[in-house]
Structure 1
Amino acid sequence: MVAMQVVICLSLLLVQGAVAGGGAEWTYTGQHGPRHWGSMFQTCAGNRQSPINIETLNVKQEYWTPFSLKNYEVPPSHMRVKNNGHSAQVEIDGAVAPRVSGGGLKGEYIFAQFHFHWGSDSSRGSEHTIDGVRYPMELHMVHYKGSYGTLGEAVKRRDGLAVLGVMLEVSNSDNPALTPLATALLNVTDAEMYAEISAMYPLKAFLPRNIEKFYRYEGSLTTPTCNEVVTWTVFDEAISISERQLNNFRALIDPHGGRIVDNFRPPQPLNNRKVYVSAESSADSSSIKKVGFSVSFTTSMVVLMMKMNM
């Protein structure tokens, strides 16, 4: 299982960094920044790119069954963080792999890794925006579709990946689940460094309490090669992080000696895509509809009886 997780994470780095464009270097600023990704990598110029601005007045409500999170409450046997030169990426080992299904996903998806995007200050940082509002940080939990067997095969398919996006907002106190990670970041300030995380929290600790309300759309990876293979879930509720913890992320150094900050891609055109928002679960919706039908039927019968007695 340990070997499998390592292969998954190494494969994901390959996919995001050098599947197309011959491994061309990309950055978040200058001539290799997001404005130029489309000319450097053909797939970054597609019509289903991510991130996007989610306009809450223009989303379509959908009824889905609740998410099923398998092994999300199981602490991993090992957890490590890597400064990959663009972000802080967290990898885990465990006897069983976390998996997600339900929530409108078409199949079961296996966890690969999670990573972060953040700003140079707390006025910006997230990749997705909601009604134009940008959070100071966004966490992405990357999963690949289990039926495709491997991550390498999944990235060839339109529905190959499922990414759970979690917004982070500033709190006056540290987030306990993020404290071991933030501490480990002090040991990976230079690019390509790894560090073990001392206390292993289960994946559920990095999700908001309310995972029932979320936004859904079809998009892409937000870094080159921008493969349009992602079913995106962006949760409406945020989790917390302190400025002290954020500053540990902002202290990371890229391969050229600069600080890794503002590592987010600007919102991309929605084009003809639909954005959905989850409503009550199908079970709840069904119950509500049954209650509504019962009330309507009872009212109709009362009216009919009154007419008959008149």
Structure 2
Amino acid sequence: MALPALVLCLALFAQDVWSSGDGPAWTYTGQHGPVNWGSMFRTCAGKRQSPINIETGNVKTEFWKPFSLKNFDQPPTNMRVKNNGHSAVVEIDAPSAPRVTQGGLKGEYIFAQFHFHWGADSSMGSEHTIDGVRYPMELHMVHYKGSYGTLGNAVSKPDGLAVLGVMLEVSETDNPALTPLVSALNNITESGMFATVAASYPLRAFLPSNLERFYRYEGSLTTPTCNEVVTWTVFANAIPVSEKQMRSFRSLRNDQGGNMVNNFRPPQALNNRRVLVSGESGADSASMKKVGLTLYFMTSMAVLMMNM
């Protein structure tokens, strides 16, 4: 959906659904850290919380149509990054809103922003873990359901948000797509600062090349107020980041004036939720069932003819 004159501002820095509003301040350490979020914010003690540890031996395979990414290959007209005191948040202006459908999602979701979680060193950083393994960084690409109209409306709906989670692993060379962003981080070291980023790369550059293999479950925002409104997609394949680039993220400072590191929530209880994994196929489950029935019918007919 293109706008006739002005570019589309996909989200406003002033509207931060990951803030606690008028509630108490929260942190990643101390008495206001994750272990106490549940007593500070009722929803953070819910039964559908994120992140989780994904046990690959205890997942159910589903066959969905491949993701359909619209306008993900078009570089934005403008990008901005903000130090919001908890993370580095990236928002864009674009002539047409990036949208994602299929991949098992129930509806069309519109891009809002992406942000990062990282550790003090590369032994930690990601929020989700896979078989207990934690990556040095995790990128969350946030989308809201288009039928709800706005991001603000969507955060109150059980299926309001779809977040694409991307793991980052250390590489010996810089990730070119991250280079403009990393350069801008040097100008926003203090909480509340923001800077323009050279919009050289489309959103697709921040996703892994293989989008077919991913994990899916129903969860929440990973920061207060922990709204249980997220359909999570966690890709099995990672994208690269260099240690030099990681140091730029670690140079940011949080709301308390300290180094912004270890800004991740520990894995939460699964509480009988199902974790699904995508089958690497272009066919959806309905098509697979039809194929199975056809094979069963043909096999039965062959056996019948042999016995005639």
The one-letter code sitting in structure 1 at the alignment partner of 2:54 is I
* Contact 2:214 2:233 (C-alpha < 8 Å) held by counterparts: yes
Give the C-alpha shift of residue 5 in structure 1. 2.4
Q: Aligned to 1:10, which of 7, 14, 25?
A: 14
Partner of 2:167: 167
RMSD over equivalenced CA pairs, Å? 2.1
Q: Deviations over 1:238-295 (max 9, x none)?
A: 0010101001000101122210000000000010211111114463767777776676
Distance 1:9 1:288, change over 3 A: same
The one-letter code sitting in structure 2 at the alignment partner of 1:61 is T
CA distance in 2, matches of 1:287, 1:220: 31
Where in structure 2 are the equivalents of 1:84-163 lying within 5 Å? 84-163=84-163
Indicate whether 1:278 and 2:303 are aligned: no
Q: TM-score, normalised by structure 1?
A: 0.91
Distance 1:177 1:282, change over 3 A: closer
Q: Could you tell me which runs of 5 or more consecutive residues in structure 1 were left unpaired when the two chains were aligned.
A: none
Point out 4+ residue stretches in structure 1 off by more than 4 angstroms.
1-4, 6-9, 284-308
Indicate whether 1:46 and 2:50 are aligned: no
Distance 1:297 1:233, change over 3 A: same
Partner of 1:204: 204
Give the structure with the larger helix fraction. Answer: 1
The one-letter code sitting in structure 2 at the alignment partner of 1:30 is G
* Contact 1:53 1:129 (C-alpha < 8 Å) held by counterparts: yes
CA distance in 2, matches of 1:275, 1:287: 22
Partner of 2:182: 182
Q: Deviations over 1:99-133 (max 9, x none)?
A: 11111111101100000000000000000000100
Q: Deviations over 1:116-153 (max 9, x none)?
A: 00000000000000010000000000111100011111
The one-letter code sitting in structure 1 at the alignment partner of 2:14 is L
CA distance in 2, matches of 1:199, 1:151: 23
Distance 1:59 1:299, change over 3 A: closer
CA distance in 2, matches of 1:29, 1:244: 25
3-state SS of 1:177 partner:
helix
CA distance in 1, matches of 2:208, 2:87: 21
3-state SS of 2:9 partner:
helix
The percent identity for this pair of structures is 70
CA distance in 1, matches of 2:66, 2:10: 30
Where in structure 2 are the equivalents of 1:211-290 lying within 5 Å? 211-281=211-281, 283=283
Give the C-alpha shift of residue 199 in structure 1. 4.0
Give the C-alpha shift of residue 98 in structure 1. 0.4
Q: Could you tell me which runs of 5 or more consecutive residues in structure 2 were left unpaired when the two chains were aligned.
A: none
Equivalenced residues, count = 304
CA distance in 2, matches of 1:278, 1:7: 30
CA distance in 2, matches of 1:296, 1:108: 35
Give the C-alpha shift of residue 302 in structure 1. 5.8
The one-letter code sitting in structure 2 at the alignment partner of 1:198 is A
* Contact 2:148 2:160 (C-alpha < 8 Å) held by counterparts: yes
Greater displacement, 183-192 / 67-76: 183-192
Q: Deviations over 1:70-110 (max 9, x none)?
A: 10001000011111111111110011110111111111011
Give the C-alpha shift of residue 10 in structure 1. 2.9
